[in-house]
Structure formats: C-alpha cells, structure tokens
Amino acid sequence: MTDTPHLEGAHADPEDLASASRQTSVYVYEVPVRIWHWVNALAIVVLCLSGYFIGSPPPSMQIAEATHQFVFGYIRFAHFAAGWILAIGFLGRIYWAIFGNHHARQLFYFPFWNGAYWKEVIHEVKWYLFLTREPKKYVGHNPLAQLAMFFFITLGVSFMIVTGLALYAEGLGTDSGLYALFGWVFTLFGHNPHIVHTLHHLGMWWIVIFMIVHIYVAIREDIMSRQSIVSTMISGHRTFKDDRPQ
Amino acid sequence: MSQIETFYDVMRRQGITRRSFMKYCSLTAAALGLSPAMVPKIAEAMETKPRTPVIWVHGLECTCCSESFIRSAHPLAKDVVLSMISLDYDDTLMAAAGHAAEAAFEDTIQKYKGNYILAVEGNPPLNEDGMFCITGGKPFVEKLRHAAKDAKAVISWGACASYGCVQAAKPNPTQATPVHKVITDKPIIKVPGCPPIAEVMTGVITYMLTFDRLPELDRQGRPAMFYGQRIHDKCYRRPHFDAGQFVEQWDDENARKGYCLYKMGCKGPTTYNACSTIRWNEGTSFPIQSGHGCIGCSEDGFWDQGSFYDRVTDLTQFGVEANADKVGMAAAGVVGAGVAAHAAITALKAAQKKTQSSKEEA
C-alpha cells in the first residue's frame, strides 16, 4: 500500500486511505447516455404537467382579449416542444445503443430465455422484500431494474412517442407527412381519435408510476446497496463500497 | 341499356335556363373545393352523360339521413332527386308501396346491372339470421346483399351504415353491423354523421355523377373534401380554446360569452366533419354555435366513448365509473403509498441492523 501524496493531510484515517488507493470504479454511462437521461427526465416532467393540463385545463383566465391571450396555446406548445425533444432524444439514444458501449444497449432488451437472468431477478425481488440480507454488485442495471426499464421506458416511452406524434399529426392535418407516417395508429385503435387520446392519457400515468418507483429506488439503492447509483448518472462511474466479489 | 336523359336535358325540361345551369355548375365546383377550371368539365359531364340510377335502401335506422337529405339547400335536394340522379328506388321517398315497390326494386337491378349506385341508410342486424330488420318480408341483410351484388359502388349514409351507431352500441343485442363488414367486394364510400350534413350528401352524389368515380377518400373511406379536417380546426370558438377561456358550467358567464366548450366535453378536437364550415339548415348554425359541445356523431363508435360531457371520459372497461385520471391517480397513489411504506421498513431494518452490530461490538 502506497499512500498517494495528495491524500496526506486530508481528513482521512488509514482505512480511508487504503480504500481510496484502490481502483474501485467502472466507467458505465458514457456522456451521451448521461445527457440523454437528464434531458429525457426534464422532458418527461414538462410533458406530464402540460399533458395533464391539456386533459383538464386550468381555470379560465381573463387576462386580455382572446386574440392577445394564449394561455392554453402556450401549455400545448410546451407539450409539443418537450414531446419533440423526447422523441428525437429517444432516436439519439437508439443510435447510441448501437454505437456506444455495451451498457448503452441494456435498456432495449432483457435476456428472456436466460434462466440465470431470471434467478437474478428473483434475488433482486427478495432483496426488495427484505428476504435477503445483502444485495449483489452490478456494473450496469440490476436484472430487475433492466426489466422495469424495458417495460416502462423502452415500451412505455415508445408508445407515448407513437401515439403522441399521431395526435400531433392530426393538428398538422390529415394531408401532412407526419399523418402519413402515423395515421395507422388511429386504424389500430378503433378509428376514433378519442380512444387514442384516452390511451395516451393512461400512458402518462404509466410513466408517472415509473418516476415514483425509479426515484425512490435510485436513492434507496444509493444508500443501501454496495455501489453508487445516483452519482453514476452524473459522473458515469460506478463505484463500489467494498472489495468482496459478487 | 336503354337511353336515359342527361342531367342537362332534364334541367332544361324543367325550365331551368342555361345561365342558371352554368351558375349551378360553378357553385357545385366551389362546394366540392374544385378549381374554376373544372366548371366546364362539370357542365360537359352533365350535358352528355346519362343520369346514373340510384337504389336507396333502408335498414336498421331512424331515417334522419333522409330527413337531412331532403333539406339540402344547395344543390337543392329537388335538383338531385328529380334531375341529377335517377332515384329509381327509395322505399321512404317513392310513391309506390308494397309489391309495386318491390317490383321496381327488381326492375332497377335488372335494367341497370353493374351501373347503379347503391345508397344504404341504416345497417343490417345479423343476429337471429337478420330477423331484427325485415323489409319486403325478408331480412334486410338479404336485400342488401342482393342489391349490392350488381352495384357499381355503395354509399354508406350516416353513422349507422358507416359504423353502426346507436344500435351497434354495446352490448349490441341485434349485432347491428356496418355495411363495409357485410359487403366486402364493392367500392364503399362512407358519409358518416347522425345525420350527415345535407350539403355533404348531395355534394358527394354530385361528384360521383359528374366525374364517374369516387371522390378522394381518407384512411377510413370518407370523402376527404368534407371529412379532411376536424370540427376543432375550423371552429369559430377556437381563439377562446387557445386563450384558455372555457365554459366551466352550462349557466355561467363564460357560456353566455360563447367561450370554448372543451371543458364541457366537446368532441370537436376528435371529430372529422364539415359542421363548422358548411353548418346546418342552410348554413344557419351548428351544435357548438348554439352553445352545446360536439358529441362526435360522425366518429366510429361514438356511443361507446363515455359521456358526451367529459373531456377525459369514463373507462367502461373498469366496470365502475372511472376515467383515465382517476385510474391513473389511484395507481400512482397505491405505488406512492407502497414506496413510502417500503422506505419506512427499510429505515427500520437499517436501524435494527445498526443496534445489533453495535451490541455485537460492545
């Protein structure tokens, strides 16, 4: 064990110095993934708030003559702008899944046919049910998280983007290029656009449920597990709190 | 095929001057959204083409389509019925009845095999071998199939023929079925609405007779010229929508001021029709103008889309009255409570572990 000079004089006991001198981090989330995560998070917050108000508008306001007042218009603008950022960001994320490191691909699949994977999922479920005393170490998402990410984000956000662009295309007109691309959504869901509105609305709550669980679990695991969680999505590095394998 | 008069012949015979005839052609071109260059083409078609025979049959329906049709202001239904189309069979409008009417039906089919247009108002119920709707002593579905066999094209008038309307609403005991699900081998044009706008109905017929083809149809088979935009897109209350000024209650000040009816459940944003442009009763008004939201009568399954008076409508699938927000909030609430409980247990367990390990150390 060799003490690195810059640690001398720091507020550190020998144990800290021993730990700090070891390489205990893995670079997991590359820059594009991290930027996407936070942009996406912000877009989703804006989309949920503005989307809720589109379904249930705020009380009528009497600021000016209707011609000079654009309250609901701005709410809808915020929704559409954030929607485009979400959609294009998601495309960029798919691009990075192909060209980035292998951790970037984890969001888009889960090893359905792999028995060992499901065993790990069960282990994670037990950990959350307080049936296991100690969690395992994972470099990327844990197996349960991977499953949740796939259903809530990969499928959920895809559904919201497709139905959202279809509804947006209606505003552009049935002769628009976007309607030509997404008009099939209305055929798929029983021809009545009202059904698509309702499903898109339910989709919001699907994403809200994900947000609640995701934020709770990320903070909880940051405290309880044997590895870093929250800071990993800021720095990209996964650090571990102990040296034991597994 | 026997010689039938042209539209122009009939019009002249009825004392319509050439000048009036040309005016009519221009107005029709305008109504159909065609360029002025098309006026001579319409005139030529009407001068040279024999009138197209039409068979108009009635299934399970309320006859509101016919009521609307005969109130057309432009082109006058009189012109359409008497001059433009040769309405050879319509059991509601024709003078003949009983066996004479049925004979006329057969005659028209035989005489104009493959050349007539079949206009269907209402739809066939298929349960109990179609016994829920009998015309001329036979289930309507048989009559429909028989008439459609030799038709050139089929027009589905109204929500009934296009989508099923109220008789096809859940649970649909008679299994009322829209025309396009029964007749699958003919070109079908849907003109939905309950009823469709009179000028839309006559406009569609005018187009088909003038150009001898179906007008441009949208994804669902509706004429794009009339169903290409939503009520919302051309609503005169749209500025209040964008401003965020809504009617909050039926009797409030905002209702008197004519604010947007979105919060009162107006289905204008999800309904494709021409009500906000062509309007009703010779262009007098339309539902939103008279202070009531659009109920979306020209959309598929509009009876099954929950209340007419909610924006976020009930989800009947959940058995009890619940809308997307109630379901979502309940789910989010349960998850939120679960998360809080989980966090509490986690904290307790962690504290327990700490006391245990400090005891062990001690």
Low-confidence ranges of chain B (pLDDT < 50): 1-2
What are the pLDDT digits (tens) for A19-61? Answer: 666 767 888 999 999 999 999 999 999 999 999 999 999 999 8
Instruction: Kindly indicate the confidence band of residue A2, based on its pLDDT and cuts at 50, 70 and 90.
Output: very low
Stretch A67-74: mean pLDDT: 92
Instruction: Identify the pLDDT of residue B268.
Output: 95
Q: Which of A43, A38, A44, A35 is nearest to A207 (CA)?
A: A44
- Does B64 show up as a binding residue in the annotation? no
Chain A residues with beta carbon closer than 8 angstroms to that of B317: none
Is there a domain that residue A13 lies in?
A: no
Inform me whether the pLDDT recorded for A11 exceeds 70.
no
Residue B169 CA to residue B81 CA, distance in Å, equals: 32
Chain B residues with beta carbon closer than 8 angstroms to that of A67: 239, 243
B222, B250: one domain: no
B126, B205: one domain: yes
B163, B178: one domain: yes
Instruction: Kindly indicate the confidence band of residue A4, based on its pLDDT and cuts at 50, 70 and 90.
Output: very low
Q: Provide the residue range defining the domain that includes A99.
A: 25-239
We report the CATH number of the domain holding residue A117 as: 1.20.950.20
Residue B130 contacts residue B146 (beta carbons within 8 Å)? no
CB interface of B with A, residues 296-315, below 8 Å: 296, 299-302, 305, 311-313, 315
Chain B residues with beta carbon closer than 8 angstroms to that of A194: 267, 270, 296, 299, 305, 313
Is there a domain that residue A135 lies in?
A: yes
Residue B331 contacts residue A209 (beta carbons within 8 Å)? yes
Closest residue on chain B to A60 (Cα): B245
Number of domains in chain A: 1
Number of domains in chain B: 2
Residue B55 CA to residue B117 CA, distance in Å, equals: 6
Chain B residues with beta carbon closer than 8 angstroms to that of A201: 312, 324-325, 328
Residue of A57, A70, A212 lying closest to B339 (CB–CB): A212
Is there a domain that residue A218 lies in?
A: yes
What is the residue type of A23? Q
Is there a domain that residue A18 lies in?
A: no
Is there a domain that residue A225 lies in?
A: yes
- Does B25 show up as a binding residue in the annotation? no
Residue of A69, A71, A194 lying closest to B305 (CB–CB): A194
Instruction: Identify the pLDDT of residue A1.
Output: 41
Global pTM reads: 0.87
Test B245 with A212 for CB contact under 8 angstroms: no
Instruction: Identify the pLDDT of residue B52.
Output: 79
B223, B269: one domain: no
- Does B65 show up as a binding residue in the annotation? yes
Chain A residues with beta carbon closer than 8 angstroms to that of B262: 57
Number of inter-chain CB pairs under 8 A, A vs B: 130
Instruction: Identify the pLDDT of residue B127.
Output: 93
Interface test with B, best of A50, A72, A128 (most B CBs within 10 A): A72
SS (H, E, C) B68-85: HHCCCCCCCHHHHHHHHE
B113, B187: one domain: yes
Task: Answer whether A129 touches B (CB < 8 Å).
Answer: no
Test A70 with B262 for CB contact under 8 angstroms: no
- Does B235 show up as a binding residue in the annotation? yes
Instruction: Identify the pLDDT of residue B54.
Output: 86
Task: Answer whether A198 touches B (CB < 8 Å).
Answer: yes
Is there a domain that residue A85 lies in?
A: yes
Continuous H helices in chain B: 7-13, 18-31, 39-48, 64-69, 77-78, 98-111, 140-149, 158-162, 198-211, 224-227, 238-243, 253-257, 275-278, 324-361
Looking at the complex, report in whole angstroms how far the Cα of residue B13 sits from the nearest Cα belonging to chain A: 42
Inform me whether the pLDDT recorded for A76 exceeds 90.
yes
Task: Answer whether A191 touches B (CB < 8 Å).
Answer: yes
